[in-house]
Amino acid sequence: MKRLIVTADDFGVSSEVNAAVDHAHREGMLTAASLMVAEPYAADAIERARKLPSLGVGLHVALTNGRAMLPTDRVPDLVDRNGRFDRRLVRAGVRYFALPRVRAQLRSEIQAQFQAFAATGLRLDHVDAHNHMHVHPTLLAMILDIGREYGLTAMRVPFEPLQPSWASLGNAVVIGPWAALMRARLRAANIRTNDAVFGLNATGRMNEEEVLAILDRLPDGLSELYLHPAAEDAAYARVEELEVLISPTVREAVTSKGIELTRYGDEPA
C-alpha cells in the first residue's frame, strides 16, 4: 500500500505561509505542517492550527537560518545580535560538533523550542528540522533525548530516492550517509519515520508537473512529500506550491493511483 504524508514546512514564518497552510488543508491535500515556534507569525499559525484538528502539526526545530526561542544572552554562541542563527550550514554544523559551550547552548535552545510547542496545547505529530539539520548526529541525539520528554514519536528522514539528476546525486552524496545513520538510530529508539521523502531534489520548484512525476514513481510504504506553499511568493515559499496542493489534477492522480493520504500520528506505533 502507498501511504503519503503531505507536509508544509516553515509554518509560522509569515502570514502568507500560514494562509497557504490553512487553505491547502481545508481545500486541498495537505495533511501536516511543521511549526517554527520562534518565528514572528507563530502565534497566528497556532491559532489557525487549533481550528484544524485534522492537520498533523509538528515541531520544525530551527538551529540555522531562523530565530532563536531563547534571548541572545542565553545563546550568544548560536545567534547574532538580532537573535538569528547562522545561515552557513557547514560552519554551524562544525561548531555544533566541536565546541562544548555551543553544545550546551544548543541543548537549552532545543528544550525551549519543545517547551514552546508543548505550551500551545497541540498534539505533537512529528519533529523535523529547518534545513534538515536533524541529520547532524549531535543535534539528532539532543532532539531524541529532549523530545522524549515532550511526546516525540515520529521524525522525518530527509533522503529522497536517487534519480538521474545532478541535484539528486549531490543530495545522495552529501546527505545519504548521514540519513542512513539517522534511520538506524531512529529505529533503535522506536521512533516512527518515513520510508522515502520527496521534495528535497526540487526544493523551490515543486510545480504540478514535478509532483505528478513524483506520484508516478511513489514507492510502496510510507512516503512524505514536503513543500513550501505561500499565498504570495516570498523567499523560497511559492504560490505555485499552494496551487499544486489544491490542484484537482493532482488530487485525481492521488485517488487513481490508490494513494492513501495520512499523517505521522495516524501511523501505527
Q: What residues pair up with 224 in beta bridges, in sequence order?
A: 5, 197
Question: What's the average model confidence in pLDDT over 247-261?
Answer: 98
- Can you give the residue ranges of every domain in the chain? 2-56+123-266
The model's pLDDT over 90-132, given as tens digits with 9 standing for 90+, comes to: 888 888 888 899 999 999 999 999 999 999 999 999 999 998 8
Distance (Å, rounded) from C-alpha 158 to C-alpha 120? 26
Note the pLDDT of residue 22: 98
Distance (Å, rounded) from C-alpha 69 to C-alpha 72? 9
| Average pLDDT, rounded, for the chain | 92
Question: What's the average model confidence in pLDDT over 197-202?
Answer: 89
The model's pLDDT over 14-30, given as tens digits with 9 standing for 90+, comes to: 999 999 999 999 999 99
Cβ neighbours of 187 (radius 10 Å): 12
CATH architecture of 2-56+123-266: Alpha-Beta Barrel (3.20)
**pTM across the whole model:** 0.92
- Left (φ > 0), alpha (ψ -120 to 50) or beta: where does 114 sit? alpha
**Residue 180: which pLDDT band, with cuts at 50, 70 and 90?**
confident
Q: Which of 229, 225, 228, 237 is nearest to 262 (CA)?
A: 225
* Residue 223 buriedness (CB in 10 A; 0-12 / 13-18 / 19+): buried
